[in-house]
Structure 1
């Protein structure tokens, strides 16, 4: 009989404790969702920088191996970069939140080199730069 009375006197969470616990859980979940969006934006920016750098290096290699001039054009309204050579064409779409600066028309010579140039890529919060030192045959990320 005493055991039954002891069990009856046991208390669970009160309503105030339950509300506080739920509030803390919701706040933690909300912070995680915000951080996930920030991470996603940074990931899109880093991937775009890598794609542009790789495409420029590939166009330089094509120019050097096939002895043809390659032109790089950026179309901001269409959010597209085109790499055009005599027998070479590559199109690179840029994600919506990303903006590319200092890139209108660039020429890569038949030797695969071009004058040094810096391309700036931004998502509004973060900015990355690609230094094109193509006389040395490299495109360098400059954070």
Structure 2
């Protein structure tokens, strides 16, 4: 992907937020703490939207985190991890955007799986630092590939 634009300190802080976001989605006993930390990354009024070949599913922050906490801690989803691939961060004043690909892998009910997709995050500078105001994603599927 293209190079990021904006002040280096802002780009670095946004990249850190993106890393913490993806790092939250790892199964195991520490999942609850990692997911709880997501609250500090988001504006309380943030919107999260998933498409993935279905009608858009729109979540508020708690509505996004709660089912993922259940999945990552219930034991039905094991050895799960999600990671960012390439991405681009653009900053203009007090607004920013991260766009990039990601991967995921794990086992659900004993069945191994992998996947990839694209995510977009919009961020705003608040007095306490950068916060995600919106996040959207779509996953690869038949007829839709990152490559």
**Whose helix proportion is higher, 1 or 2?**
1
Could you state the TM-score of these two structures normalised by the residue count of structure 1?
A: 0.32
**Whose strand proportion is higher, 1 or 2?**
2
User: Which one has the largest radius of gyration?
Assistant: 1
Could you state the TM-score of these two structures normalised by the residue count of structure 2?
A: 0.32
Q: Larger relative contact order (C-alpha < 8 A, sep ≥ 6)?
A: 2
